[in-house]
Chains A and B, each alone.
Chain A
Amino acid sequence: MDAFEAARYLHWPGDAVTEDVLRQLEDMGRELSSTAPPRLVWRVLPRTPEGCEGLCLPGGDIRALLEDAQQVIVAACTLGEAASRAARRAFLMDMARGVMTDACLSALIEEEMDRFEKEQTRKYRARGLYLTDRFSPGYGDLPLSVQKDLCDILDTRRTLGLTVNESMLLIPEKSVTAVIGICPAAQKHRAAKEKSGCVKCAAFENCVFRQQGRTCHG
């Protein structure tokens, strides 16, 4: 786990993180990645006008993102109940350790999604295809209510032990779902990674990084 990444979740700029803290975060990350290893499932589905086969993806942002896509990768990843328990234990014994644990878990799952995205990008580039950015329910105008069908289509209850509650929250908590388009040409619309992408981010108003004139993606 990248300790700087975990520090970022604590709104802690990389240049202010001390050696001591980095070492603590690294140790935690190492331990957590063995107690709560990420699990990921994914499928490739044909693109349809509504989204992809069996899954309606409403909203202008996702439509723009998938405009040229022929197929869609649908993925879900979770650190499982073990992560929730590790965080809860840490919080009970020492609140400061708790927030650091939480940050490490966020970094771990994000890294797993990045790793998956890179791996797919490499694979499809070799086939002459391009991937769009990764987009998750809750980004821009893609509603969280998509979670339910997305998890159904991946059968995440059975394949990951991941469910969606009545408020469309993923349970266990440290879980992520995402869609990525597979296109014949490099995409024209960049969703999250360009500066303009920030406007579409749900955290835009409150983003600590933006207030400091930075972005969360470096």
Chain B
Amino acid sequence: MDNLILDGAMGTMLMQRGMGAGELPEVWGMLHPEILEEIHREYVDAGSRVIYADTFCANPRKLKNSPYSPEEVIRSNILTAKKAAGGRARVAMDVGPLGAMMAPLGDMTFEEAYASFARMLKAGEEAGADLCVFETMTDLKEVRAGVLAARENTKMEIWVTMTFEKNGCTFAGTDAGAMALTLDRLGVDALGGNCSLGPGELKEIVEKILRYTDLPVIVKPNAGLPDPESGAYALGSADFAREMAVYPPMGVWMLGGCCGTGSEYIRALAALPPAAPRDGRKADALCSAGRVIDLGGVRVIGERINPTGKKRFQQALREGDMDYIAARAIEQEEAGADVLDINVGLPGIDEKETMLNVVRAVQAVTDLPLMIDSSSPEVIEAALRETCGRAVVNSVSGDEKKLRSILPLVKKYGAMVVGLCMDESGIPDSAEKRVSVGKRIVEAAKGYGIPPQDILLDCLTLTAASMQDQAMETLKAVTRVRRELKTHACLGISNISFGLPCRVLITSSFLTQALYAGLDMPILNPNQQDIMDAVYCFRALSGEDRGLGAYTSRFADRLSPAPALSANTAPAPASGPALDPVAEAVLRGLGGETEALVRTMLKTSEPMEVVEKHLIPALDEVGERYDKGRLFLPQLISASSAAQRGFAAVREAIAARGGEEKRKGPILIATVEGDVHDIGKNIVKAVLENYGYAVKDLGKDVPAEAVAKAVRETGCRLLGLSALMTTTVPAMERTIRLVRETCSGCLVMVGGAVLTADHAKRIGADFYARDAKAAADIAKKALG
């Protein structure tokens, strides 16, 4: 394969020709077209057959304060590049990162990124760009917005290169393999790495990329790293080309340079021998931005993000309590899940909006790939757009209408799909018939360009208690679809034991048999230790767990109890008169012990008596020790969480007697607009809740209007505002003013590192809370 030589640096060249520090290279290039043309022409003369126009940063954010619009800059610089190319090279519209972090970490939404990219790309296509290339990207979320914008608004070929660190990830945590997998399946035309490192350091990263794609791979590295004192790059053109020579033998034939490289580097690259052919294989995998899950062995799909039959989960969905749901994701990851199923189907909620919120919340805390579980094509598409990485759609069936509405989405977003071996006439009662429905699904998928290895056929678990004969039919079908249809097999396991005693035993037994029958992607509850034990045992016996390392480390200390995981941050030294046992347990942060003690007391005492004689005094003791500097923040939190367990037991007892639990409040809390620090606010929330108040958390970076609206809607009488930076205190002042103007009867407490009691008074607050304990004292004063 002949190599395709790309160009070298633009910024470096512009600076050499007189562009000053702080200038925007795109605008400077537009104002000096003769210089731009000369740079491009030098590259073409040196052998570049694709040149990147000077449009890297010509985006709405960067040009906000410039007199020129993105369209003007893009048009002018592409025309200059085309003139320089003179038909000898193709001209790429160059697109870099937009310059802001994507939400949730930063403030740029997917929609904003999409709109900015679409605007730029349309201008580039109109100006006559032959293709578009996203380069120096670090966040796969942003890349996906760009790729979708290019595909949905232009007909240009799409190339993407990202900037990786030595560890094989970008700064934003995008893994090189995950980027290759995601973009390959999303249907770009070429992909690879640019900038950041020298050619030598990129080798392992390129190897990883080659594993997951059969697309052409681009390598466009820096001339080594710059010296911080002189700014000079480490490699000369000969050394650069020598290091680049490793790539053509690997089958990489799109070569160029980034920062620090010039036309002599390109000339040296053009002299490299042609690339070797590649074998056209690519690994079968799922991924998030940060992690690739290779398929092959047993991959566990966690089923717990699903409201069916779970009261607390339903409540969290209705209240938008994403923290609760995010914690369920972390829990399953820690228990050994490889993929997380996301189902938010609950009557009376907006499924699409909720799905998006849950996908965002879960992806913010775990690196596991997602399975989007919905029957609505609209919800599925919205979720696939939001999900970063390669997801699975759950599910289609043999029903024609379903196949027609969902398979195009699976193809468009490069996902995998679950195919239920049933159709509009129900679940077939024999293995034979299920396999034939599976075959129909595989055929239909093929028509959309979805190969069998992208399908997980679900041969359906029926309840053994009512349909005993069906268990074996399911297992037979699993074996046959794996062997005959070459798909993956998934199966919801838990249903088998419904209505039977000792469910976990029959469930894990069925799981083991199904795994042996060929099941490779079980859907189960990973928090059940016995079930995961069965998975580990199977992996050990099947040889997947080579050397039995995973088995050994899971079971090595099974006989001795595992140490407690809670942050039991040291017992508070007992001093003075002996403490009440509840107080002792609370002070030590022992939630389980506190709860047990309270439960015992509730057998003989009235609930309120337990609260007043034990729990409240315990919290008072905690507060006093904290104030005296004998107890510290983590201990305060542990202690109040322990007390919370006690309160929960009391509430349960009251409810059991038909009484109604009454929480004081509500108290609204928020971190003000512009401020993203929420640690302090979260601690205050936890402590207030543990002291028995209902707290509504509005989150961080909350506009004044939203706070005032929430105060009016809830009729709350105490509002807590947090600001950590001097720059965001004015937003706090504005919020207080608005609340005063538009709401009545609400007291305001404020806190945050830069505030003082004086300062708080000056900006109109009623109280200054120096810490969480003080906030609880204020709440007591304000609400009782």
Contact with B along A94-113 (1 / 0, CB 8 A): 11111110100000000000
User: Does B173 contact A21, Cβ atoms closer than 8 Å?
Assistant: no
A131 nearest CB across to chain B (Å): 14
User: Does B682 contact A10, Cβ atoms closer than 8 Å?
Assistant: no
Q: Which residue on chain A has the smallest CB distance to residue B99?
A: A157
List A contacts of B327 (CB < 8 A): 92-93
Within 8 A of A (CB), among B660-685: 674-677, 679, 682-683
A160 and B196 CA atoms in complex are apart in Å by 10
User: Does B726 contact A144, Cβ atoms closer than 8 Å?
Assistant: yes
User: Does A88 contact B100, Cβ atoms closer than 8 Å?
Assistant: no
Q: Which residue on chain B has the smallest CB distance to residue A44?
A: B229
Q: Which residue on chain A has the smallest CB distance to residue B724?
A: A169
User: Does B726 contact A169, Cβ atoms closer than 8 Å?
Assistant: no
User: Does B567 contact A96, Cβ atoms closer than 8 Å?
Assistant: yes
Is there a chain B Cβ closer than 8 Å to A152's Cβ? yes
User: Does B172 contact A169, Cβ atoms closer than 8 Å?
Assistant: no
List A contacts of B330 (CB < 8 A): 89, 92-93
A23 nearest CB across to chain B (Å): 10
* Cβ 8 A contact of B677, one of A16, A18, A41, A173: A173
List A contacts of B257 (CB < 8 A): none
Is there a chain A Cβ closer than 8 Å to B97's Cβ? yes
Within 8 A of A (CB), among B685-709: 686
Within 8 A of A (CB), among B116-167: 136, 138, 163
List B contacts of A171 (CB < 8 A): 101, 105-106, 676
User: Does A84 contact B105, Cβ atoms closer than 8 Å?
Assistant: yes
List A contacts of B679 (CB < 8 A): 87, 91, 98-99, 102
A134 nearest CB across to chain B (Å): 16
A13 and B629 CA atoms in complex are apart in Å by 9
User: Does B195 contact A158, Cβ atoms closer than 8 Å?
Assistant: yes
A96 and B365 CA atoms in complex are apart in Å by 18
A103 and B364 CA atoms in complex are apart in Å by 21
B129 nearest CB across to chain A (Å): 23
User: Does A81 contact B727, Cβ atoms closer than 8 Å?
Assistant: no
Is there a chain B Cβ closer than 8 Å to A138's Cβ? yes
B731 nearest CB across to chain A (Å): 8
User: Does A172 contact B105, Cβ atoms closer than 8 Å?
Assistant: yes
Is there a chain A Cβ closer than 8 Å to B34's Cβ? no
Is there a chain B Cβ closer than 8 Å to A59's Cβ? no
Q: Knowing A18-B570, A89-B365, A160-B171, say if A166 contacts B107 (CB, 8 Å).
A: yes
Q: Which residue on chain A has the smallest CB distance to residue B171?
A: A161
Is there a chain B Cβ closer than 8 Å to A167's Cβ? yes
Within 8 A of B (CB), among A69-98: 80-82, 84-85, 87-89, 91-98
Is there a chain A Cβ closer than 8 Å to B569's Cβ? yes
Within 8 A of A (CB), among B207-240: 228-229, 231
A89 and B334 CA atoms in complex are apart in Å by 11
User: Does A12 contact B171, Cβ atoms closer than 8 Å?
Assistant: no
List A contacts of B569 (CB < 8 A): 20-21, 24, 96, 100
Which of A43, A81, A95 gathers most chain B CB within 10 Å? A95
User: Does A167 contact B728, Cβ atoms closer than 8 Å?
Assistant: yes
Is there a chain B Cβ closer than 8 Å to A193's Cβ? no
Q: Which residue on chain B has the smallest CB distance to residue A28?
A: B567
A137 nearest CB across to chain B (Å): 10
Is there a chain A Cβ closer than 8 Å to B335's Cβ? no
Interface residue SS majority, chain B = loop
B484 nearest CB across to chain A (Å): 43
User: Does B195 contact A163, Cβ atoms closer than 8 Å?
Assistant: no
Q: Knowing A24-B567, A91-B682, A163-B106, say if A41 contacts B365 (CB, 8 Å).
A: no
User: Does B634 contact A99, Cβ atoms closer than 8 Å?
Assistant: yes
A80 and B298 CA atoms in complex are apart in Å by 33
Is there a chain A Cβ closer than 8 Å to B170's Cβ? yes
B669 nearest CB across to chain A (Å): 15
List A contacts of B725 (CB < 8 A): 138, 144, 167-169
Within 8 A of B (CB), among A7-47: 10-13, 16, 18, 20-21, 24, 39, 41-44
Is there a chain B Cβ closer than 8 Å to A196's Cβ? no
* Cβ 8 A contact of A41, one of B172, B228, B326: B228
Q: Which residue on chain A has the smallest CB distance to residue B97?
A: A157
Q: Knowing A92-B326, A95-B641, say if A100 contacts B106 (CB, 8 Å).
A: no
User: Does B567 contact A54, Cβ atoms closer than 8 Å?
Assistant: no
9-residue interface stretch from B549-557, B736-744, B752-760: B752-760
List B contacts of A88 (CB < 8 A): 364-365
Is there a chain A Cβ closer than 8 Å to B352's Cβ? no
List B contacts of A20 (CB < 8 A): 569-570
Q: Knowing A96-B638, A165-B676, A205-B756, say if A21 contacts B365 (CB, 8 Å).
A: no
A20 and B572 CA atoms in complex are apart in Å by 12
* Cβ 8 A contact of B228, one of A42, A94, A95, A97: A42
Is there a chain A Cβ closer than 8 Å to B635's Cβ? yes
A173 and B637 CA atoms in complex are apart in Å by 23
List A contacts of B633 (CB < 8 A): 10-12, 99
Is there a chain A Cβ closer than 8 Å to B561's Cβ? no
Is there a chain A Cβ closer than 8 Å to B22's Cβ? yes
Residues of chain B having any CB pair with chain A under 8 Å = 21-22, 97, 99-101, 105-107, 136, 138, 163, 170-173, 195, 228-229, 231, 323, 326-327, 330-331, 364-365, 565-567, 569-570, 589, 629-630, 632-635, 637-638, 641, 674-677, 679, 682-683, 686, 725-728, 731, 753-756, 759, 770
Beyond A92-B326, A167-B675, A202-B753, 17 extra complex contacts between A and B, CB < 8 Å:
A11-B633, A12-B632, A24-B567, A53-B21, A54-B21, A88-B364, A91-B679, A95-B683, A157-B99, A163-B100, A165-B100, A165-B106, A166-B107, A167-B728, A169-B727, A172-B101, A206-B753
Question: Could you jot down 22 A-B contacts, CB within 8 Å?
Answer: A81-B173, A89-B365, A94-B565, A97-B567, A97-B634, A99-B633, A99-B634, A99-B679, A100-B567, A102-B679, A153-B21, A153-B22, A158-B163, A161-B138, A161-B170, A161-B171, A161-B172, A163-B106, A165-B107, A167-B675, A167-B725, A173-B677
Lowest 7 CB-CB distances: which A-B pairs, in order?
Answer: A161-B171, A167-B674, A96-B567, A18-B570, A96-B634, A96-B637, A205-B756
